[in-house]
């Protein structure tokens, strides 16, 4: 481990295989918290490469609880966090809208680490039970069309690293690769990142990890969600090719709002925002969700254009389908957790 750390401190990148070996050590009991902190800080200072991200993702997935991955066509939508915007939980809200549009959603997330409120915090506040088995997750996905994979539950060896990350209080490679470590074999993915310089490298990572279609985006104002404030940079992976496009809200018939207008709060406040959006309340929160869910519907191949995806997202909300998915997930997760006790 010291040799790998020394290499990073000399501004040298690790190969994919070296990163797999180093990451396995991070999950072991043979190194200290300070060594973990030193390694991930040195990696951040050097700058993470595609091979390093692919390597650490593979190592994380090695120690994840086993999933059968039996349901085809699954998508995940997740941001890396770390943008400092204090926005409400856009991707969690959008996940129910995509599910309401008929797309199976395997939402992977955690409690808050570098942001104010994590997806797990909000979904738990809404009454969704988090601690269910992989088999129950898959049953939930098949019967409801959406499930939440609680990162610290499905990846139990990440506990010590999560503690170190929380103490550091800065975005690290684990913010970057968190959305990549979903234990379900996804067909498609929407991944938001606060660093514009990483949109194309992330598309390359997703390609190496086998995604058929994906959209990596950097929102206006450097958000890790698509933003209505102005132009968003999207890098689209499709059929093995990667292309970059710019997307303005006007391109999909949505208005412009500043990022300050979609600020959230604690888990209770963000849960209320999510509920209000799914129940049809108009405004900046809803329109932001329409943009992000529309991109997800497009990424899943259910719409020919993002503009069509936005229309389908609006239908998902206005017909009540998105809200019903939330109700069904609350009910099903409660039954499954009771059955597991």
DSSP for 255-321, written as a single string: ----GGGGB--SHHHHHHHHHHHHTT--SHHHHHHHHHHHHHHHHTTS-SSHHHHHHHHHHHHHTTH
Asked whether residue 3 falls in the same domain as residue 87, the answer is no
What pLDDT is attached to residue 192?
A: 95
User: Does the annotation list 57 as a binding residue?
Assistant: no
Judged by DSSP in three states, 218 sits in strand
Asked whether residue 33 falls in the same domain as residue 79, the answer is no
User: Does the annotation list 24 as a binding residue?
Assistant: no
User: Does the annotation list 109 as a binding residue?
Assistant: yes
Question: Would the pLDDT of 18 be above 90?
Answer: yes
- Is 311 in contact with 292 (CB distance < 8 Å)? no
pLDDT single digits (tens) 161-200: 888 988 998 888 888 888 899 999 899 999 999 889 999 9
Domain that holds residue 142: 75-155+184-331
What pLDDT is attached to residue 114?
A: 52
Average pLDDT over residues 7-23: 97
- The domain total for the chain is 2
User: Does the annotation list 77 as a binding residue?
Assistant: no
| 25 lies in some domain | yes
User: Does the annotation list 333 as a binding residue?
Assistant: no
Both structure tokens of 267: 């888990």
Angle 13-151-270 from CA coordinates, rounded to 5°: 110
pLDDT single digits (tens) 85-111: 889 999 999 999 999 999 999 999 888
Average pLDDT over residues 116-120: 80
User: Does the annotation list 272 as a binding residue?
Assistant: no
| 171 lies in some domain | no
Average pLDDT over residues 53-62: 94
Confidence of residue 116 (pLDDT cuts 50, 70, 90): low
User: What's the distance, Cα to Cα, between the start and end of the chain in Å?
Assistant: 40
Q: Distance between CA atoms of 322 and 286, rounded to whole angstroms?
A: 12
Question: Would the pLDDT of 48 be above 70?
Answer: yes
Task: Identify the CATH number of the domain in which residue 199 sits.
Answer: 3.40.1030.10
Task: Identify the CATH number of the domain in which residue 2 sits.
Answer: 1.20.970.10
Confidence of residue 236 (pLDDT cuts 50, 70, 90): very high
Asked whether residue 53 falls in the same domain as residue 81, the answer is no
Question: Could you give the C-alpha distances from 81 to 49, 70, 116, 212, 334, in angstroms and in order?
Answer: 19, 29, 10, 24, 28
Asked whether residue 149 falls in the same domain as residue 291, the answer is yes
User: Does the annotation list 112 as a binding residue?
Assistant: yes
Bigger pLDDT: 129 or 151? Answer: 129
Asked whether residue 136 falls in the same domain as residue 28, the answer is no
Asked whether residue 111 falls in the same domain as residue 34, the answer is no
User: Does the annotation list 211 as a binding residue?
Assistant: no
| 206 lies in some domain | yes
Question: Would the pLDDT of 225 be above 70?
Answer: yes
User: Does the annotation list 286 as a binding residue?
Assistant: no
Asked whether residue 102 falls in the same domain as residue 240, the answer is yes
* DSSP structural state of residue 72: T
pLDDT single digits (tens) 268-311: 999 999 999 999 999 999 999 999 999 999 999 999 999 999 99
Which of 171, 182, 50, 43 minimizes the C-alpha distance to 112? Answer: 171
| 109 lies in some domain | yes
Which of 199, 203, 237 minimizes the C-alpha distance to 218? Answer: 199
User: Does the annotation list 263 as a binding residue?
Assistant: no
In which element (H, E) is residue 59 found? helix 50-62
User: Does the annotation list 241 as a binding residue?
Assistant: no
User: Does the annotation list 18 as a binding residue?
Assistant: no
User: Does the annotation list 225 as a binding residue?
Assistant: yes
Question: Would the pLDDT of 70 be above 70?
Answer: no
User: Does the annotation list 89 as a binding residue?
Assistant: yes
Question: Would the pLDDT of 341 be above 60?
Answer: no
| 1 lies in some domain | yes
Bigger pLDDT: 34 or 66? Answer: 34
Residue 3: Cβ within 10 Å count: 8
pLDDT single digits (tens) 244-271: 999 999 999 999 999 999 999 999 999 9
User: Does the annotation list 324 as a binding residue?
Assistant: no
Both structure tokens of 167: 């103490």
| 11 lies in some domain | yes
Q: Which residues of 80-106 are buried (b: 16+ CB within 10 A; e: fewer)?
A: bbbbebebbbbbbbbbbbbbbbebbbb
User: Does the annotation list 121 as a binding residue?
Assistant: no
Question: Would the pLDDT of 113 be above 80?
Answer: no
Last residue of a domain, one of 62, 84, 107: 62
Asked whether residue 2 falls in the same domain as residue 129, the answer is no
Average pLDDT over residues 131-138: 91
Q: Distance between CA atoms of 338 and 207, rounded to whole angstroms?
A: 39
Confidence of residue 23 (pLDDT cuts 50, 70, 90): very high
Q: Distance between CA atoms of 185 and 103, rounded to whole angstroms?
A: 15
What pLDDT is attached to residue 217?
A: 98
| 223 lies in some domain | yes
Q: Which residues contact 294 (CB under 8 A, 6 or more apart)?
A: 252, 303, 306, 307, 308, 309, 310, 311, 312, 313
User: Does the annotation list 224 as a binding residue?
Assistant: yes
Asked whether residue 29 falls in the same domain as residue 128, the answer is no
- Give the global pTM: 0.92
Three-state SS sequence of 110-139: CCCCCCCCCHHHHHHHCCCCCCCCHHHHHH
Question: Would the pLDDT of 141 be above 60?
Answer: yes
Backbone torsions φ then ψ of 184, nearest 5 degrees = -80, 140
Confidence of residue 324 (pLDDT cuts 50, 70, 90): very high
| 339 lies in some domain | no
């Amino acid at each position: 481990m010291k040799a790998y750390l020394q290499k990073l401190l000399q501004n040298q990148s690790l190969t994919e295989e070296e990163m797999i070996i180093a990451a396995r050590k991070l999950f072991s009991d043979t190194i200290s918290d300070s060594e973990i902190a030193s390694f991930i800080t040195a990696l951040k200072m050097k700058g993470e490469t595609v091979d390093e991200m692919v390597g650490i993702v593979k190592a994380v997935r090695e120690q994840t609880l086993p999933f059968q991955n039996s349901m085809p066509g699954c998508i995940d939508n997740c941001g890396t966090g770390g943008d400092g915007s204090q926005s409400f939980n856009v991707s969690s809200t959008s996940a129910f809208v995509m599910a309401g549009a008929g797309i199976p959603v395997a939402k992977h997330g955690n409690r808050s680490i570098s942001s104010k409120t994590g997806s797990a915090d909000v979904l738990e506040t809404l009454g969704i039970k988090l601690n269910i088995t992989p088999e129950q997750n898959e049953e939930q996905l098949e019967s409801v069309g959406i499930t939440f994979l609680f990162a610290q539950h499905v990846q139990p060896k990440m506990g010590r690293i999560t503690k170190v990350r929380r103490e550091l209080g800065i975005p690290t490679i684990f913010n970057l690769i968190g959305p990549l470590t979903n234990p379900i074999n996804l067909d498609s993915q929407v991944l938001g990142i606060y660093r514009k310089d990483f949109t194309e490298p992330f598309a390359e990572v997703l390609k190496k990890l086998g995604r058929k279609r994906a959209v990596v985006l950097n929102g206006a104002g450097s958000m890790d969600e698509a933003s209505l404030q102005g132009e968003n940079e999207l890098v689209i992976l499709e059929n093995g090719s990667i292309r970059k496009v710019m997307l303005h809200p006007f391109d999909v018939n949505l208005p412009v709002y500043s990022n300050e207008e979609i600020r959230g709060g604690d888990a209770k406040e963000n849960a209320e925002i999510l509920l209000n959006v799914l129940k049809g309340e108009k405004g900046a929160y809803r329109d932001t969700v329409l943009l992000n869910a529309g991109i997800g519907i497009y990424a899943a191949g259910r719409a020919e254009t993002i503009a069509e995806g936005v229309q389908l997202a609006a239908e998902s909300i206005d017909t009540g389908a998105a809200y019903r998915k939330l109700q069904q997930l609350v009910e099903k997760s409660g039954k499954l957790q009771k059955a597991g006790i």
